[in-house]
Structure 1
């Protein structure tokens, strides 16, 4: 079998879909090296190191960036994949993000992590974005099979896109192998203190700063407990990726309005330091209102951090019984949970242990195995279809 992959996100290993493909593809090759893997990349893309067994085929597309993106996804990828299939091998096109081609001569397996741009009005963007999302929504209906990251997202896809249940499969994400408990937590805290000027104890959040991430609830909850815990800092890692204040609230203004001042520390964390902050923090918090999966809480649990999350969308499914779950807009509930963990070292240790067990129940090996099973089933159906066609005309 040949697996032709839309590799648009291979050059972005720090974003969610980039992390997904960087962890998934090496495991796919390890589990099934007999298949041929070809990743299509826009020409000129910076290419991080590729795993063994993955071939790269650069694709040159001219024109403005957004136009080139659509041409790559909707024209170049399906056409080149079809050409590669001329060698007679069963070939499946794998699109690991929400951008399947509207037309393809080959069966298409598409990963849809969530439907946020379709479901949340604030994320629908400009008219151009809306047209694009209408296109890929229609294209998703023609996908042979859809993969998604949680049962919550699967149910949403079934209800919103109207796909039949046998065409949508859950393939969970997992924390990368670099996320593990600290060997010496005090030493890690000292390193974080030196590098980021953050002393323990501290509460940690990492992620987007857009509206659905609900950082304002965290800030308001911290403001309620601040006077009692003057020695505790709230550390926020992340940055706004746009200027639209409806989508990206002014976090600094919120901090000033709540009179939190130096009690909140905003930092940028390079990808290689990601595990350090999880390992060093006293509590990890994730108040998001909407997730298709929710990787940061799982990464934090893999590092033995006690976790508080919203009891919304996919997050309860990800953390199980290994985290405290609070309604996303229950500011008093968040303040109570934070105070409870700050006061109870035993509970923090218990949640840390339970979190490690929960995080270990997810693995990219299993994700890759399920993905391969679907791809192989689709390829086998193609073989049967071709055989029946030959018999009909023969």
Structure 2
């Protein structure tokens, strides 16, 4: 069997962590697996009884990781990094594969200080230059990689992410009541899953919501995470939240347990995803699987992933976001149509299918 070493240090992160948590269990049934990372952390998410964990303590993007790579990446058929933080020096493996989910750091370089900007640029360019194969998650991300780097198109393979429909599904009422009480949620609310990074456009959503609640006083906005974290990340959010219309209408859940997230989608009247930029966009698929209609940005990656199973708005137009939300809230026929199309759309994306494509791609690259 092929020996593959995977950098699993990001297994507890939101996006790449989901990617690893769903692919590793399938791959370890078909390959001899070695994982770089913290044994205790990895074991929280996957069974490691039949894999070898090689300790690696370096933080992501910290230069010391380059030394650890040299010392620990060796004697395997394939080294696969699920993110662009890759060895920038030669390592002793037959093949190197990297997954580049997006090139956000190159597109929005002004968000980073000089060191962060240059180190990210070095890593991304090293990732595409020295890897034998680049996996990415959408045709849009492929086009962005080609636009911002000098890689040859034939080195890039698009493999879509999946959705875990055993986890994200329509839930029984008793589960919904339990979670509603746990997080002290209102009867009617919009739902946002994301972070404070500018490309998630939370400020645009808050401004749109301010317009909505002037007429729709019974609706709330629920945001996953701690209020303090969002305010600390962007001081302007604090000012917006102190607006007299928003003061008591925006609810931050605090930390959300993994098993609770699907039920929050179930409880929501509407999921809103107003991003300026994404590589793929997994949350709208999660909402679809849970029967929650979505209003999302009309941007290339979401058009590619979501098809006609959502309602699209212009993320740069606060009025358009507000009008789209109100329309989907009030038009019951439209809501039901979006939900029906969502159930159909989700069938195109499964982690089993994604894992099989990853396995075939890895074997083909090695010639196994």
TM above 0.5, yes or no, is yes
1:25 and 2:24 are equivalent in the alignment:
yes
Alignment counterpart, residue 145 of structure 1, candidates 129, 133, 140: 133
- State the Cα distance separating 1:343 from its structure 2 match: 1.1
For 2:178 and 2:230, how far apart are their aligned partners in 1? Answer: 33
2:64 corresponds, among 55, 71, 74, to 71
CA deviation profile, 1:117-145 (whole Å, cap 9, x unmatched)? 1210343x233323321321231111100
Contact 2:5 2:35 in 1 (8 A): yes
**Contact preservation (8 Å) 2:180, 2:267:** no
Does 2:116 match 1:116? Answer: no
Matches for 1:21-60 after TM superposition, within 5 Å: 21-30=20-29, 33=30, 35-42=31-38, 47-51=43-47, 54-59=50-55
Q: Does 2:228 correspond to 1:228?
A: no
**Which residue does 1:8 correspond to in 2?**
9
What CA deviation, in whole Å up to 9, does each residue of 1:283-304 have, x standing for no partner?
Answer: 1000010111111111111111
**Which of the residues 115, 127, 132 maps onto 1:128?**
115
Deviation at 1:57, TM superposition (A): 2.8
C-alpha separation in 1, matches of 2:282 and 2:171: 22
Give the equivalent residue in structure 1 for 2:154.
Answer: 166
RMSD between superposed Cα atoms in Å: 2.5
Q: Is the 8 A contact 2:102 2:279 kept in 1?
A: yes
Of 241, 245, 254, the residue aligned with 1:259 is: 245
Counterpart residue number, 1:386: none
Q: Distance in 1 between matches of 2:49 and 2:143?
A: 35
**Gaps in structure 1 of 5+ consecutive residues:** 86-90, 384-394
Unmatched runs of 5 consecutive residues or more in structure 2: none
The structure-2 alpha-carbon separation of the partners of 1:244 and 1:194, relative to structure 1 and needing over 3 Å to count, comes to closer
Per the alignment, in what secondary structure is the counterpart of residue 97 of structure 1? coil
Instruction: State the distance in 2 between where 1:187 and 1:44 align.
Output: 34
- CA distances 1:338-372 after superposition (whole Å, capped 9, x unpaired): 11112122221221121121122101112111211
Structure 1 residue 67: deviation in Å? 9.2
The alignment's TM-score, normalised by the length of structure 1, stands at: 0.84
> How many angstroms apart in 2 are the aligned matches of 1:5 and 1:126?
29
Per-residue Cα deviation, 1:292-324 (whole angstroms, up to 9, x for no partner): 111111111111100000012411111110001
